[in-house]
């Protein structure tokens, strides 16, 4: 039996699945990843600077650029693709313990997951947060201010610096969120990692944590990952093919 068929049988038999997703699951929705062959940083290494907390906080010009980029981003219109929709089937069948995502695009929730099942370890681009007082608001309300002429809109409550409610490089993760992800990894009987280079930590630790707790591990990606040595099955190929096959309803 080929690897995909074996892996699909494991999915059908599993009772507590944790899925870990990365940017690769959203490329077919038109959102580029960072490190894949067409990744933002692969093509333009300087773009990494804008995602670094220290630079963002210190450099008003960089923030103005970041707000302009947010305003014109095509990501706001992105829709879930077949891989996102397929994963919702696992939840409908009562098999999904948690969906841990490194993505910030909320496409899993838009595909139909119960938001309570989705653990966003790197936050969400659809909300803003004040660096000074932590005030959290829908991103679109801040973008309306940028559209109206504010180049680097300050917090309306305290005047602090606003950024998207995402985890930038150099920024600590929210402890309860990453702990929830790792705790789910320890309770699952099957871990599926999809569309991640598994090179960003501590999120990537979900894989060895699940493995050492006794779960089977399936890694689906378009190229090798940093965690392939932990995989019981590696599914190399486009996620638009592997994920629907993996999540297909049993006959």
Q: Distance between CA 140 and CA 44 in Å, rounded?
A: 27
Q: Distance between CA 173 and CA 177 in Å, rounded?
A: 8
Binding flag, residue 164, ligand NAD (CB under 6 A): no
Interior angle at CA 98, CA 93 and CA 101, nearest 5: 120
Strand extents, DSSP E, 61-155: 96-101, 118-120, 123-130, 136-138
134's tokens:
């932590």
Binding flag, residue 80, ligand NAD (CB under 6 A): no
Residues tagged active-site = 122
Binding flag, residue 226, ligand NAD (CB under 6 A): no
**Measured from the CB of residue 237, what is the shortest distance to ligand NAD in angstroms?**
7
- Interface segment toward ligand NAD; rule CB under 6 A; list 1-9, 18-26, 57-65, 174-182: 18-26
Q: Distance between CA 66 and CA 94 in Å, rounded?
A: 40
**Residue-wise DSSP of 13-64:** H-SSEEEEE-GGGSGGGT---SSSTT-HHHH-TTHHHHTBHHHHHH-HHHHH
Binding flag, residue 95, ligand NAD (CB under 6 A): no
Please say which residue, 20 or 88, places its beta carbon nearer to ligand NAD: 20
**Measured from the CB of residue 79, what is the shortest distance to ligand NAD in angstroms?**
12
**Measured from the CB of residue 30, what is the shortest distance to ligand NAD in angstroms?**
10
From candidates 193, 195, 209, 217, binder to ligand NAD by CB under 6 A: 195
Q: Which residues of this protein are in contact with ligand NAD, per CB under 6 A? A: 22-24, 26-28, 31, 33-36, 39, 102-105, 122, 195-197, 199-200, 221-223, 238-239
């Amino acid at each position: 039996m080929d690897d995909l068929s074996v892996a699909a049988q494991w999915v059908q038999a599993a009772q507590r699945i944790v899925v870990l997703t990365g940017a690769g699951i959203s490329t077919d929705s038109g959102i580029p990843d960072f490190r894949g062959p067409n990744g933002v940083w692969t093509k333009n290494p300087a773009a990494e600077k804008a995602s670094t907390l220290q630079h963002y906080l210190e450099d008003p010009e960089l923030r103005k650029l970041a707000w302009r980029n947010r305003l014109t981003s095509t990501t706001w219109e992105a829709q879930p693709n077949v891989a996102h929709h397929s994963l919702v089937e696992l939840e409908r069948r009562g098999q999904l313990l948690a969906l841990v995502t490194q993505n910030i695009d909320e496409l899993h929730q838009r595909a139909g997951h119960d938001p309570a099942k989705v653990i966003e370890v790197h936050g969400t681009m659809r909300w803003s947060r004040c660096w000074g007082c932590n005030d959290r608001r829908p991103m679109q309300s801040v973008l309306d201010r940028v559209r109206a002429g504010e180049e680097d809109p300050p917090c309306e409550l305290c005047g602090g610096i606003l950024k998207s409610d995402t985890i930038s490089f150099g920024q600590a993760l929210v402890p309860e969120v990453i702990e929830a992800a790792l705790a789910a990894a320890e309770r699952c009987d099957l871990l599926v990692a999809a569309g991640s280079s598994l090179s960003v930590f501590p999120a990537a630790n979900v894989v060895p944590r699940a493995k050492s707790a006794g779960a089977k591990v399936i890694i689906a990606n378009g190229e090798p990952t940093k965690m392939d040595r932990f995989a019981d099955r590696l599914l190399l190929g486009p996620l638009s093919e592997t994920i629907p096959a993996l999540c297909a309803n049993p006959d």
